[in-house]
Amino acid sequence: MQVKILGTMLPGPSYNLAGVLMTTRTQRFVFFGVAILVVGLGTGMVASYVGLPNLGILAGNGPVELAYIPSDATAVAYADVREIMDSGVRQKLLKLSPDADSGADEFEAETGINIQTDVDRLVAAVTGTPDPKNARPLLLARGRFDTARIEAAIRAKGGTVEQYNRQRLITFENSLGLSFVEPDLALVGEPSAVKRAIDTKAAGRQNITENQNVMRLVREFDGGNAWAVAHVEAVMSGNVIPAEVKQQLPPVTWFAISGRVDDGIHATVRAETRDEAAANNLRDVIRGIVGLARLQAGQHPELAEVVNSLELGGTGTTVSLGFTVPPAVIDILGAMRAKQPRPSEAALLQVLPLPGL
Amino acid sequence: MAKSLSPVAGAARIFDLSLGELIWSRRTIFMALVVGAPVVLSIVVRIVQASGIAPLRVNGVSVDAVSVFGMIIWVLFLRFIVPVLGVFYGTSLIADEVEDKTITYLFTRPLRRGAVLLGKYLAYLACTTLVVLPSVMVVYFMLVPFRDVARSFPALLTDLGLLAAGIAAYGAVFTLVGAWLKRPLVVGLVFVFGWEQFAMLMPGYLRRFTVAYYLQSLVPHAMPADQSVSSLLQSVFAETPSAPLSLAVLLAITLISLGLAMRVIERREYVLEQ
């Protein structure tokens, strides 16, 4: 390369204005800086125009069972039953109250499915207008089922079996429907709700994953083994909540709770209000309650850890409250319960005179 | 006699020469420390967040990641990093050449003196934006969860734009100071940490004679509401110009300062101390 020297004075080499002046390391520096900017801006633009959650790489779309739930569901809940059953919290609760699983026993008596041993995870949903007379939610249980034994048991009690949309649907007294839509997935609920779930999956569209309001909240449940989302306005439009109570409730549109149950409980409750003013009011109310709880915690130091873990957050129309119940507090609660005097057998017999005694 | 380069070509050659000098100068260590601090802070905040503790609470309410990022832009970048880099780099563009007695080498090239200054100013712009903006980008992605990127990305673009505008405006002002005055660094520091702080707290129109006033009006985040007297006073006298007016004034500050600096350097005789 021919080097021309401009001017008359012979300066040091860096002041020679001919040829390429930028060194390789300067070029690398510029390239590195520009690369960070380009990658960052590119990621942000993809997130803005495509939506990172839609890529399905960086954010999940909830459990696959959601494909069975119609898009107009007003409440959806999920629990990793296996993790919760094996958790330290449940073991402690079982020690404290051995009959705590009576609800699961009733479910087993009705459906033949043992939640403790057969089910790995559970998804529940409420579809249509909520009605206390028709309170059975749609349950989707993923696990290991002896389908032949369960079907035989229900048929023995008077249940019937029909084919519906290529699935075997077992119905009992027109109040319970059960279908093993996949070898390891059982749908349990009102027969009409089970049929609709089968149709939703078969159609491959109009399921809850297309409901952006629900999915926006679901995608934010990072690492929890249990969560629930409810469209409060839809729930309140039904007959579930008495009118007097409705008037006292804050104008919340969406309610969500997510948490992790292991040796302790870590949970976040989140509410979305109609406007920022309502959110600010709700925040003020919760702040007052938290303050009161902190005052009370002075008299009950054993609960101070829970109270101190209360974390009020959220911006705009969102209000959130996080809390942690550490293992030590569960032990303390257990000890407190154990100290409570149990009614004597004689006193029980006086209150509940058994026939024949 | 060598053929004289056109102003644009001359400025491009000086830019090419000065960029490496600026990047690999001792000031870069200072810049790395200043710009690295928010990155380190964001890593600490991220670790604290991951452990389930709210890194920042205001009145018992935990501040979300997007607001923490907004606070870093306000407090660290806008109020400190951008003006300080403007002072340290802007005032040194010509003053260093005078101090090192190397300005003769540049002025004896077949270039307009104004082109030398323009080239150096462009090198300053490239150097600082290539350090500050990537740093902001890293802080953003460290702090803001992926799920909030779509919502907060437009604000990030505004932040990047206003920081670039701040770097350009402060740089131009202090390039003028560097070309004009003999002790430019002292004057620059007094301007940034004295005059601007004082004027922003005063009621009336004194604040209109600062760069910060026009930059602050472009910030997409809410002003952090701490309990310090200065924040309290500033919120009491909060009055912000419109975004188009702020942009126009910042552009005018940059162009006028740069034009004046070029005029000063064309006319001034630099006496090198022996």
Question: What whole-number distance in Å separates Cα of residue A33 and Cα of residue A109?
Answer: 66
B36 part of contact set with chain A, CB < 8 Å: no
Give the Å distances, CA to CA, from B89 to A28, A63, B117, B122, B172.
21, 54, 13, 12, 10
- Window B:144-163, CB contacts with A under 8 Å: 146-147, 149-150, 153-154, 156-157
Question: Is B62's pLDDT higher than 50?
Answer: yes
- Looking at residue A84, its pLDDT comes to 87
pLDDT at B84: 93
Q: What is the DSSP string of chain B?
A: -PPPPPHHHHHHHHHHHHHHHHHTSTHHHHHHHHHHHHHHHHHHHHHHHHTT--S-EETTEEPPHHHHHHHHIIIIIIIIIHHHHHHHHHTHHHHHHHHTT-HHHHHTSSS-HHHHHHHHHHHHHHHHHHHHHHHHHHHHHHHS-GGGHHHHHHHHHHHHHHHHHHHHHHHHHHHHHHHH-SSHHHHHHHIIIIIHHHHHHSSSSGGGGSSHHHHHTT-SSPPP--S-HHHHHHHHT-----HHHHHHHHHHHHHHHHHHHHHHHHHPPPPPP-
CB-based contact B20 A315, cutoff 8 Å: no
User: Would you tell me which residues 203-242 of chain B have a C-beta closer than 8 angstroms to some C-beta of chain A?
Assistant: none
> In this predicted structure, what is the pLDDT of residue B86?
92
Chain A interface, mutation test: which of B68, B105, B140, most A Cβ atoms within 10 Å?
B105
**With an 8 Å Cβ cutoff, are B17 and A15 in contact?**
yes
CA atoms within 13 A on the CB side of B68: 29
A-chain residues near B17 (CB < 8 A)? 14-15, 17, 21
Average pLDDT value for residue range A152-172: 87
**Tens-digit pLDDT profile for residues B236-250:** 445 678 888 999 999
Q: In this complex, do B110 and A37 lie within 8 Å of one another by their Cβ atoms?
A: no
Interval A79-137: pLDDT, tens = 988 888 888 888 887 777 666 666 667 777 777 778 777 888 899 998 766 555 666 78
User: Which pLDDT does position A354 carry in this prediction?
Assistant: 45
A313 with B64: Cβ contact below 8 A: yes
Q: What is the mean pLDDT of chain A?
A: 77
- A260: chain B residues, CB-CB within 8 Å: none
pTM score over 0.95: no
Where are chain B's structural domains?
A: 7-267
Which tens digits make up the pLDDT trace of A216-242?
Answer: 788 777 667 889 998 887 777 666 667
Closest by Cβ to A30, choosing from B105, B130, B137: B130
Is A287 within 8 Å of B60 when comparing Cβ atoms? Answer: yes
Please name the residue of chain B whose CA is at the shortest distance from the CA of residue A288: B60
pLDDT digits (tens, 9 = 90+) for A263-293: 888 888 888 888 888 888 888 888 888 888 8
Report chain B residues whose CB lies below 8 A from the CB of A43.
141, 149
C-beta atoms of A33 and B138 within 8 A: no
Mean pLDDT of chain B: 83
Place of tokens 């976040």: A268
Q: How many CB pairs under 8 A join A and B?
A: 119
Alpha carbon of B229: minimum distance to chain A alpha carbons (Å)? 25
Residue-level pLDDT at A4: 39
Look at B149 and A47 and tell me if their CB atoms are within 8 Å. yes
Distance from the Cα of B238 to chain A's closest Cα (Å) equals: 22
- Contacts of residue A292 in chain B, CB cutoff 8 Å? none
Residue A203: Cβ within 10 Å count: 12
Distance from CA of A40 to the nearest CA of B (A): 6
| B96 vs B135 pLDDT, higher one | B135
Å from B203 to nearest chain A CA? 31
Contacts of B67 in chain A (CB under 8 A): 315
Question: What was the pLDDT predicted at B227?
Answer: 47
Least Cα distance to A70 among A251, A222, A231, A252 occurs for A231
Confidence band of B30 (pLDDT split at 50, 70, 90): confident
pLDDT higher than 70, residue A201: yes
What phi, psi does A180 have (nearest 5°)? -90, 90
> Which of A6, A21, A315 has its CB closest to that of B16?
A21
B-chain residues within 8 Å CB-CB of A23?
20
In chain B, what residues touch A8 (CB-CB under 8 Å)?
Answer: 1-2, 108
**What is the model's pLDDT at position B249?**
94
